[in-house]
Amino acid sequence: MIEASIPTFVLIAAIAVISPLLAERLRRFNVPDVVLELAFGIIVGPYVLKLAHTNDVVNGLSDIGLAFLMFLAGYELDLQRIRGRPLRLASLGWLLSLGMAFAFAFALVSTGLAVDTLVVGLALTTTALGTLLPMLRDAGLLETRFGAYIVAIGTAGEFGPIVAVAVLLTRKDPFVTSALLVFFVAIAVACALLASRTRPPRVVALMRRHLHSSAQLPVRVSVLLVFVLVYLAFELGLDVLLGAFAAGVVVKLFTVGEDSEVIKGKLEAIGFGFLIPIFFIVSGIHFDLHVFLTRPTALLRIPLFLALFLVIRGLPALLLYRTALPRDERVPLALFSATGLPLIVVITSLGVSQGRMLPENAAALVGAGMLSVLLLPMLGLNRLRRSGGVDPDASHDSHSAFGRGEEPL
């Protein structure tokens, strides 16, 4: 099994290296690495060059990559920065998006274009926080007021759908699932409280002593927490991404102090340097290109779903942030808000496997998600540059100041 996977892993490793190099060449177009990874995955996949083939080993590493993407999203979450107005507006915006999404999904079901309101509706409410974070950091926006609002929107756009998937798309009774979810949250909160307590000096010294040794103990403890909470979520019948996201929040509390940046760098190296590219490339390999060849009308659904992303996730941002941000920042905020992909892949896969989503809708939603990741952040950054909201050279300096010289939130 492992031997059969080696050629595919060689292709994946090559794509993981080529994608950022090509993105650097296309820097002025702001093409994200993840879009190139998905595109190359499609090219080497079974519907084009037929060079890459997945099996349990490849798919298992891809699933771990997705879990690590959610883990890093939770790790980057700074509740101190987004609590208060940013989180209130983001939560209200997601609830508005949820209502609009169900209305549009019901219309699609009524016209025969979809078979299940719930699955399509949830797919339309996501925001790709894990995908946006590296873009925001590279553009020097993460530590700004604008970045705080985006992080809050992304948190609601990932945590809300993850919880909804855990409660509504599992095979268990929703009331039982809700009770299990409360139990899981209680355990996660207990872990967070334990993490926030003052660590004994001996423990701190032990961790610091092995931070740069071959043991890499703080990293190993972090990875252990990821798998423990993912396993707990799985055993409770919840979505494993909920466990990964919660693990990121808990590990962030554990790693406060002068060594936190070093630990963060090591965890990001594991995620962005190894596991996460596997997820995106394998997602491209799995992309059902054949459905567009056999059902040409499916292509027309890609712009439809992209437009729905903009309306459902972008419109609340334009309406709710009128007093929070100036006009020339609200449009970029709306564009970033409408960016979605990882959870779309998860929700559409669940929908197809349960017979609750048409294959053409699943492929069109993923295709629209890919376009949203490619086009919307690029348009948002260009809009900020033209308005003077971000330094055009910020992508070369992750610590550059927000263009207007505004203080972080």
Q: Does a structural domain hold residue 244? A: yes
* Average pLDDT estimate for 32-54: 90
DSSP states along 232-245: HHHHTTS-HHHHHH
When the pLDDT of each residue in the chain is averaged and rounded to a whole number, the result is 85
Give whole-number Cα distances, 164 to 55, 183, 239, 321, 347, in Å.
29, 16, 9, 25, 10
- Contacts with 374 (C-beta within 8 Å, 6 or more apart), sequence order: 31, 32, 35
- In one-letter notation, the amino acid at residue 51 is L
Residue 398 confidence (pLDDT) above 70: no
pLDDT, average across residues 386-399: 52
CA-to-CA separations, 34 to 162, 209, 280, 284, 373, in angstroms, rounded: 21, 36, 6, 10, 8
Q: For the chain, what is the largest distance between any 2 Cα atoms, rounded to a whole number of angstroms?
A: 65
Distance CA 222, CA 153 (A): 26
pLDDT digits (tens, 9 = 90+) for 110-124: 999 999 999 999 999
Mean pLDDT computed over 388-396:
51
Q: Express each pLDDT in 161-176 by its tens digit.
A: 888 887 777 656 667 7
Residue 172, domain CATH? 1.20.1530.20
Range of the structural domain that residue 135 is part of:
69-279+294-388
76 inside domain: yes
pLDDT of residue 209: 85
User: Is residue 47 included in any domain, yes or no?
Assistant: no
Q: Does 44 fall in a domain?
A: no
pLDDT at 103: 97
CA nearest to 326, candidates 399, 383, 392: 383
CA end-to-end distance (rounded Å), the chain = 51
Top-confidence residue, 244 or 80: 244
> Measuring CA to CA, how many Å separate 45 from each of 12, 30, 53, 216, 408?
11, 25, 7, 36, 44
Q: What angle do CA 313, 133, 152 make, to 5 degrees?
A: 50
Mean pLDDT is lowest, of 30-34, 152-156, 243-247, 399-403, for 399-403
Q: Do the beta carbons of residue 150 and residue 132 sit within 8 Å?
A: yes
Q: At which residue do the structure tokens 């190296």 appear?
A: 269
CA distance 328 to 279: 35
Q: What are phi and psi of 356, to 5 degrees?
A: -105, 5
Q: What is the pLDDT of residue 392?
A: 42
* 287 is a domain residue: no
Whole-structure pTM over 0.85, yes or no? no
Structural domain count, the chain = 1
User: For residue 256, what are the CA distances in angstroms to 196, 253, 301, 399?
Assistant: 9, 6, 46, 20
In this structure, is residue 247 part of a structural domain? yes
Is there a domain that residue 51 lies in?
no
pLDDT at 409: 45
Q: What is the mean pLDDT of residues 79-90?
A: 88
240 belongs to a structural domain: yes
